[in-house]
Structure formats: structure tokens, C-alpha cells
Amino acid sequence: MRAKELLLECKIKLKVSSNYALAKELKLDSARISDYMSGKRLPTTYALVKIAECLKLNPLELIAEFEEQSAKNEVEKSFWADFRQRVKPPLRAFMLGLLCTLSLLTGFEQAGNPAGIFRFRKYA
């Protein structure tokens, strides 16, 4: 079960050992944590957002994953699968752009150029 794996990761990250302590940290009902761990229930949207915040995951992607899992028909299932794919790329593209920008800015400074990106080095 994916919910159990996520909750166990939360336990490790929060350095707690019991379901009660995990529920207290995530501000969830301890009975619900037990249900999620045993697979009796799928986490609610609120619980998924709290788990995503704990693990630094994209909450929309996590919600879409569980909605896809619990969808009653193929139309809903394919909608959530497509939505999940659409949620992923923008974050990746943003992070890639941010990393490229930061590497450009710090690259010129490391080359000994005190003006940063505005004054290029002259080569002989």
C-alpha cells in the first residue's frame, strides 16, 4: 500500500515511532492513521496534503494519485492519470530553469569577474 509507505516515511522524517505520535504531528486522528496503515481506508484530501507537506512532495500530484486509485470508472481514472502527468512537468521545468539560472550567475562570479553576468571576460 502506498499510503502505508508514505506514513512510514513520515515517521522516519519526524522521528516518531508510534501511530499516535505521528497522528499528533500531522494533526490527524490516530484511528484514521491506523486505518490508512492497514489499508482499510484511503487517506482523505486533508491527510494527503499533510503527508505531502511533511515529505516535501507536490500535494496535487499525491491527491491525483490516490483519486486515480479510488476512481469508480475508467473515465475518472483516465482523467486523474492525465491530470497527474500534467501536474509533474511544470515543477520539473521550473526547477531546471532555476538551476540553470543559478549556475550561470555563480559561474561568472567564480571565474573572478566582480561584475557578475554584466561584464564578460576578455580573452587574448
Cell 521545468 found at: 93
pTM of the shown model: 0.68
CA distance linking residue 120 with residue 95, whole number of Å: 26
Residue at 83 is within a domain: yes
Asked whether residue 92 is assigned to any structural domain, the reply reads no
Domain total of the chain = 1
Q: Over its length of 124 residues, how does the chain's per-residue pLDDT go in tens digits?
A: 589 999 999 999 999 999 999 999 999 999 999 999 999 999 999 999 999 999 999 999 999 999 999 999 999 999 999 988 888 755 566 667 777 776 666 655 555 555 555 555 566 5
Domain, as residue range, for 69: 2-87
Please report the pLDDT score of residue 97 as a whole number.
75
56 part of a folded domain? yes
For 25-45, how does the pLDDT look when each residue is reduced to its tens digit (9 = 90+)?
999 999 999 999 999 999 999
Does 66 fall in a domain? yes
Q: Which residue shows C-alpha cell 515543477?
A: 91
- 94, part of any domain: no
Report the pLDDT value the prediction gives residue 87, as an integer from 0 to 100.
82
* Contact call for residues 58 and 91 (beta carbons, < 8 A): yes
For residue 34, give the CATH number of its domain. 1.10.260
